């Protein structure tokens, strides 16, 4: 009986899906006629290149690099219903994402990873909206010069712990990097130390891992075809999973925020970003979940990125050890005496005397950057560029791994060669590579990121 009564519903649903697909094909056809995109990579009807794009970062790097070599400075993919342009030279990244940042700085709709999994509240995934501006304003006002010294103190302490961990348990070096990156950011944001056996370490790492996994273009059907989010909720089989992940993030971040609030109530809280943030946002209408995600997003954004960069520096030291010898000579000179081994560990105050170390950190950002295909932005307005006509809603990214390994961009790009950064832009951490992104989103980041990694390297 149930079988017969469900047939009309099934038929109606199938009919609706077929009409929707035809509508999309028509829309796509009209769009391609009205606009002119950079060379399109051939793909399947309707699905475009959705199934060609590798889901892991390690496979994305050579894949996007080989397409750039074939198509030149720009190419276009079709992912579900979106056109996705890759920018393959610093010239076009600067022209579009930097100089026209106001048009190129939104984020594409992500019904799964942003709306469900993050309740629309992860700042890294927000569009160029009032909500983004409000959260960013508070964050920026706190992540200012005063915070720099706090970063420095925590990094100094944690990098000594890192050295101890390397010496004590060398086989756990990777885990030690992970702990270090998380510990620094946790100290800065939540004012507490983190040791290897901390009960919230795994759950915290898991939040960033889940986010990055689901963020990969093409990784979920509904983010590839956002129109599916209009289906009645009972038909959205992915919904329960998204909501479960959202609740889990709230639980994990809520635990950290709860601890800070308790310490604030007792009057024994160490100064940290969360205290300033909670006090500052009391004057605003920001809701509790947004507060949790603003603070948690900082931990997510700062941990994996720093850990990966440190691990790449270690890889570079193993694969091309010549630069390590030169780094060591510089450190010996500043922390010892001429012809001597270093007699002490370097300190933040030594930075001006250690340009080679600053250059090595920048080379680390360039040589193997985190996020090989960048973090896609979305165009909020139509635009024209060198004969192309691009509609609002187009996704645009900088082909980061390709840019860093292109001989049009860098002399001898495969070589880990810090000397390439010994120039007038040495102390501008954003100049000379694209590791921190392009345009409006990257501007946020300033000096602080460079320091996290530099401290580890100098020590
Ligand atoms: C090696 C270290 C790091 C790297 C390579 C890195 C890289 C990036 C990249 C590529 C983006 C996206 C930019 C874009 O879409 O144009 C981003 C965004 C962001 N990062 Fe980092 N990051 C690092 C460390 C940090 C740290 C330590 C923090 C926090 C203190 C942080 C906070 C953020 C925030 C809040 C955003 C979102 C910006 C916005 O939407 O306004 N990052 N980062």
What is the full per-residue pLDDT of the chain (459 aa) written as tens digits? Answer: 444 455 777 788 778 777 877 777 777 777 777 899 999 999 988 788 988 888 888 899 999 999 999 999 999 999 888 899 999 999 999 999 999 998 998 888 899 999 999 999 998 888 878 888 888 888 777 766 555 666 788 888 999 999 999 999 999 898 899 889 888 888 888 988 887 778 887 888 888 889 888 888 778 889 888 888 988 898 899 999 999 999 999 999 999 999 999 999 998 888 888 998 999 888 888 899 999 999 998 888 888 888 899 999 999 999 999 999 999 999 999 998 666 778 899 988 899 999 999 999 999 999 999 889 998 999 999 999 999 999 999 999 999 999 999 999 999 999 999 999 999 999 988 899 999 988 765 544 444 454 555 555 555
451 lines ligand 1 (CB under 6 A): no
Q: Is 302 in the pocket of ligand 1 (CB under 6 A)?
A: yes
**With a 6 A CB cut-off, is 449 part of the ligand 1 pocket?**
yes
Q: Please tell me the distance between residue 328's alpha carbon and the centre of ligand 1 in angstroms.
A: 29
- Which residue, by CA, sits nearest to atom 7 of ligand 1? 436
77 touches ligand 1 (CB under 6 Å): no
Return the CATH number of the domain spanning residue range 35-458. 1.10.630.10
Measured by CA distance, the residue closest to atom 39 of ligand 1 is 441
Q: Which atom of ligand 1 is nearest to the CA of 189?
A: 30
Strands across the sheet containing 377-378: 74-79, 82-87, 395-398, 377-378
Ligand 1 neighbourhood includes 366 CB (under 6 angstroms): no
CB 273 within 8 A of CB 147: yes
Mutational pocket test of ligand 1: of 139, 140, 302, the residue with most ligand atoms within 8 Å of the beta carbon:
302
Protein residue whose Cα sits closest to atom 28 of ligand 1: 302
Report the alpha-carbon distance of residue 66 to residue 203 in Å, rounded.
36
C-alpha to C-alpha distance for 151 and 5, rounded to whole angstroms:
64
In this prediction the pTM is 0.87
- The residue ranges of every structural domain in the chain are 35-458
> In terms of Cα–Cα distance, which of 118, 277, 100 is closest to 188?
277
- Kindly state if the Cβ of 136 falls inside 6 Å of ligand 1: yes
Q: What is the pLDDT of residue 458?
A: 52
pLDDT, residue 2, reads 44
- What pLDDT was estimated at residue 442? 57
User: Residue 111: what pLDDT?
Assistant: 93
């Amino acid at each position: 009986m149930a079988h017969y009564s469900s047939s009309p519903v099934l038929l109606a649903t199938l009919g609706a899906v077929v009409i929707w697909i035809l509508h999309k094909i028509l829309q796509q056809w009209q769009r391609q006629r009205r606009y002119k995109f950079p060379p399109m990579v051939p793909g399947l009807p309707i699905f475009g290149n959705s199934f060609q794009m590798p889901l892991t970062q390690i496979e994305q790097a050579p894949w996007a690099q080989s397409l750039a070599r074939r198509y030149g400075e720009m190419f276009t993919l079709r992912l579900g219903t979106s056109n996705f342009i890759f920018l393959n030279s610093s010239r076009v990244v600067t022209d579009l994402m930097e100089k026209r940042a106001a048009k190129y700085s939104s984020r594409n709709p992500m019904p799964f990873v942003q709306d469900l999994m993050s309740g629309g509240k992860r700042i890294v995934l927000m569009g160029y909206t009032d909500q983004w501006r409000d959260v960013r304003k508070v964050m920026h006002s706190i992540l200012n010069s005063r915070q720099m010294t706090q970063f420095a103190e925590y990094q100094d302490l944690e990098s000594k712990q890192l050295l101890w961990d390397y010496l004590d348990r060398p086989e756990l070096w990777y885990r030690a990097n992970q702990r270090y990156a998380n510990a620094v950011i946790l100290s800065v944001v939540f004012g507490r130390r983190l040791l290897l056996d901390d009960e919230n370490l795994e759950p915290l790492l898991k939040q960033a891992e889940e986010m990055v996994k689901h963020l990969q273009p093409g990784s979920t059907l509904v983010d590839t075809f956002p129109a599916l989010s209009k289906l009645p909720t009972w038909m959205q089989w992915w919904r329960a999973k998204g909501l479960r992940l959202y609740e889990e993030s709230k639980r994990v971040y809520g635990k950290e925020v709860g601890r800070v609030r308790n310490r604030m109530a007792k009057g024994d809280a160490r100064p940290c970003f969360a205290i300033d943030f909670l006090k500052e946002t009391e004057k605003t209408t920001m809701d509790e979940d947004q507060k949790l995600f603003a603070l948690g997003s900082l931990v997510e954004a700062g941990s994996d990125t720093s850990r990966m960069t440190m691990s790449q520096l270690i890889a570079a030291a193993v694969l091309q050890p010549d630069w390590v010898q030169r780094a060591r000579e510089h450190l010996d000179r500043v922390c010892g005496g001429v012809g001597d081994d270093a007699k002490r560990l370097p300190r933040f105050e030594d930075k001006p005397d250690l340009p080679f170390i600053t250059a090595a950190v920048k080379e680390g950002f360039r040589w193997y950057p985190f996020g090989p295909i960048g973090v896609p932005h979305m165009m909020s307005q139509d635009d024209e560029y060198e004969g192309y006509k691009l509609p609002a809603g187009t996704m645009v990214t900088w082909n980061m791994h390709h840019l860093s390994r292109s001989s049009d961009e860098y002399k001898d790009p495969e070589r880990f060669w810090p000397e390439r950064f010994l120039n007038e832009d040495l102390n501008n951490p954003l100049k000379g590579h694209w590791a921190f992104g392009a345009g409006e989103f990257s501007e946020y980041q300033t000096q602080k990121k460079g320091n996290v990694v530099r401290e580890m390297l100098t020590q």
